[in-house]
A and B are shown apart, each in its own frame.
Chain A
C-alpha cells in the first residue's frame, strides 16, 4: 500500500497549487477556489495521518476533525460567495485589484 509520505507530498502539491492560484489570480472567485483547495489539502493530511496512525478504528480524532472542517468550509464558502456578490454589486467588478478601499 502507498506509504504515508506520498499522500503528504500530494497534499503539499495541492496546497501549493491552491496557494499559487490565490496569489496570482485577480478574480475574487478564483481566489476563493484557491483557498478551498488549500483547505482540502489540509483535510487530506488529516485523513492520511489518521489512517496511518495506530489503531485508526479506535482513535477518531483526525476523522472527526475532517468532518467538522468540511462543515466549516461549507459555511465559509457560503459567506465568502455572499461577500463577493455584495462586493460585485458595490464595485461592479470582482477584480481584486480594483477593490482597494483599504489602501493606506
Chain B
C-alpha cells in the first residue's frame, strides 16, 4: 500500500502535464493532442488500478485503511499549512471509475469532435478537468479539495462555453459558474469555520485530522446558534457546496443549461464525474456529517437534511424530465434526479450505499450521453426528440447500447446495474427510522424514471414516421432531408464497452454487495458470494420490479400502442393534462421564479444604489467639493499676495546661482577629467604632507 501511495500524486499530475503541453500546442496537431491526452489518461487509469488493488489488502486494522501522505505547503508565523493525499477504498474506487470512464470519453471525443477546429483546445480543457477531478479525489486536505473543486468548476465553465460563439452557450457557462459559486460560498464558510474550530484542514493525520475521533467529538460537543451542534452547522455549510455542484434543488438550475457544451463534455462532466463530486464530498466528510468518526450510519440532523434534499430533488427532477423534448435535457434532469438518489442513499444508509449508486450511475449515464451524442451526430446536430424517430434501423449499434443504458437507468430487474444500487437505496429508506417519506419519494422517482426513459426511447428510436432530419445547404434556403448514419467505430466502441460495463457491474454488484459495503467502510472480510437475500430485501426488490414494469408499460401504452402521431403534434401527456404538462415543461417555472426574485432583486438593488450614488452621495460630494473650492480660493489669495512675493525673490536668487553652477556641467568630458585629476592630485599631496 505504501508503494503506490508515494506515487499517487502522479495520477492527477499526468493529465495536468498533458493539459500544459496541449495549451502550447498549435491547432493543426490533432493526432498529437488526442494521443497525448488519451495516453496520459490511460496511464492514470493503470496507476489507479494499482492503487485499487493496493487497497484490497490493507495491513493493520481500521487505522491503517486511510493511508495518508502529508507534506508541508507553506507557513506563516507559527501556523503552518499542510496538504496531502490519502489512499483509502473510497478514493481508490472513485479513481478507477473516473479514469476509466474518462479514458473512454476521451476516445469517443476523438470521433465526436473530429470536425471541430478547436480540437487541441478541447483536449487541453478535458485534460485539465480530469486532472482537477483526480486531484479532488485524492486530496487529504479540505483546502486542497476546495482548490481542485474550484478548478473543476473552472474547467466546467470553459467546456460548457466551449462553443462560445453561441450566445446560449456563453450564457449557460456563466450561469453554471455563478450558481455553483453560490453553493461554494457556503462551502468556503464551512471550511473557514472548521479551520477555526479544529485548527486543521487535513482529513486524516494520525489522530489529529478533522475527520478523526478527537476533532469530531470536540465539534459535536460544542453548541452554537439555535442549539445546533457545531458539527451540524459546518456540515450543512459544506453541504451547500455539494448542493451547488451536484445540482440539488434549489441550485439545480445550471445543470440542464450546461448541456449547451459538446456532448462528450456533458457525458464526462455533467453526468459521470463532476456532478458526482458533490456526492463524493458528502461521502468524504461523512464522519463529520454523521458526527461519528467510525463512519457508522447514524441519524444526525445534518444527514436528515441531506436525505430530504436528495429525496425532493429525485422526484422533482424526474417530474420535469417527463415533459422535456430536448434529448440531452431529459438526460440532464435524469442526472439531477439520480444525484438526488445518491444523496438520499448517503443520508439514510451510509456512504457505501450512495457510492455504489454513484459508480453504477457513472457508467450507464456516460453511456446514455454518449449514445445521445451519437444520435445527435447522426442527425446533424438535431436535439429535439420530436423530429427524430425510427432510428433503430439506421443506428443499430447506438440503439442497442442506448437500450442497455435506458434499462440500466430505469432499473430493469436482475441484469442491469441500477436495479441493484437503487434497490439498496430503497431498502435503506424502508428501514430509516425518522420517516417513511423518503421511501415514497424514492418509489415515485423510480416510477417516473422508467416512464420518461421509455418515452424518450420511443420518441427517438421507434416513432413510426420518417425522420424530419434536415440540414441547410448552400444552394437552397429550405432544408433538404438527409439520411441519418451510424457513427464511426471510434465512437461506437466506447459505447459498447460502457454498455458491457453497465451489465457486468450489475452481475457482480449484488452478490458481492456486502463485500463492497465492507470494503468501503474498512471492515474487509473475505469475499463471500451469497445469494441469500433477506425477506425485507426481497420485498423491496419485488416492489421496485412492479414499479418499473408499471412505469415502462404505462409509457409504452401511452405512446406506442395508441395511434401514431405526427411529428409536431402534441405529446400524449399533453392531451391528457395540458396544464400540468406545460408546468412541467417549463420546469416548474424555477428559472422564472429566480428571474422574478433573485435576479430582479439584484436589479432593483443596483438601481437603488445607482440612485443613491447619483443624488445622495453625489450631492454630498458636490457640497464637499464646493467647500473645498471656497477654501482653495481663499488659500490662493493668501498665497499670491503673502507667500509668493517672498518666494519669488528666493526663487530668483536660486535660479541665478544655479545658472552659475551649471557652467560646470557643460557636457565636455575632458573638463570633468581635468577636475577629477586635479582633485586626485590635491588629495594625494594632502595625504603625503599629512604623513610627514
Mark A residues whose CB is within 8 Å of B. 19, 22-24, 26, 31, 96-97, 99-104
Contact = CB atoms under 8 A, between A and B. Distances in A.
Interface string B208-236: 00000000000000000000000000000
Counting from the closest, the 4 A-B pairs by CB-CB distance are: A104-B665, A103-B667, A100-B667, A102-B667
B662 A104 contact: yes
Contacts of B665: 102-104
B668 A23 contact: no
Nearest to B670: A23
B674 interface: yes
B673 A100 contact: no
B182 to A, nearest CB: 63
- Residue of B662, B670, B674, B677 with highest tally of chain A CB at under 10 A: B670
Contacts of B674: 23
Nearest to B674: A23
Contacts of B668: 96-97, 100, 103
Q: Which of A23, A31, A104 has the most CB of B within 10 A?
A: A104
B677 A96 contact: no
Contacts of B666: 100, 103-104
For the residues of B in contact with A, the DSSP-based class is loop
Interface size class for chain B?
10 to 19
A26 B671 CA distance: 11
A104 B665 CA distance: 5
A19 B665 CA distance: 21
A22 B670 contact: yes
A31 B673 CA distance: 11
Interface string B661-692: 01011111110011001000000000000000
A96 B662 contact: no
Nearest to B664: A104
Contacts of A22: 670, 673
A103 B662 CA distance: 9
A47 B667 CA distance: 37
Contacts of A96: 668-670
B685 to A, nearest CB: 14
A22 B672 CA distance: 11
A19 B677 contact: yes
Given A26-B670, A102-B665, A104-B667, 11 more contacts: A19-B677, A22-B670, A23-B670, A23-B674, A24-B670, A31-B669, A96-B670, A100-B666, A100-B667, A102-B667, A104-B664
20 contacts: A19-B677, A22-B673, A23-B670, A23-B673, A23-B674, A26-B670, A31-B670, A96-B668, A97-B668, A99-B667, A100-B666, A100-B667, A102-B665, A102-B667, A103-B666, A103-B667, A104-B662, A104-B664, A104-B665, A104-B667
B655 to A, nearest CB: 13
Contacts of B670: 22-24, 26, 31, 96
A36 to B, nearest CB: 15
A23 B677 contact: yes
A22 B667 CA distance: 16
Nearest to A19: B677
Contacts of B669: 31, 96
A104 B670 CA distance: 15
A99 B670 CA distance: 11
A71 to B, nearest CB: 24
Contacts of A99: 667
A25 to B, nearest CB: 8
A23 B676 CA distance: 11
A26 B664 CA distance: 18
A15 B670 CA distance: 16
B683 to A, nearest CB: 15
A63 B372 CA distance: 85
Nearest to B677: A19
B670 to A, nearest CB: 6
A104 B674 CA distance: 18
A48 B344 CA distance: 96
Contacts of A101: 667
A30 B665 CA distance: 23
Nearest to B668: A100
A53 B653 CA distance: 58
Contacts of B677: 19, 23
A96 B667 CA distance: 9
A39 to B, nearest CB: 14
A13 to B, nearest CB: 15
Nearest to B659: A104
Interface string B634-675: 000000000000000000000000000010111111100110
Nearest to A26: B670
A66 B22 CA distance: 55
Contacts of B667: 99-104
A103 B666 CA distance: 4
B687 to A, nearest CB: 16
A22 B662 CA distance: 23
B582 to A, nearest CB: 82
User: Which of B664, B669, B677: most chain A Cβ within 10 A?
Assistant: B669
A72 B667 CA distance: 27
Nearest to A20: B677
Nearest to B669: A96
B624 to A, nearest CB: 45
A46 B463 CA distance: 105
Contacts of A23: 670, 673-674, 677
A31 B674 CA distance: 13
A24 to B, nearest CB: 8
A80 B674 CA distance: 20
Contacts of A104: 662, 664-667
A49 to B, nearest CB: 17
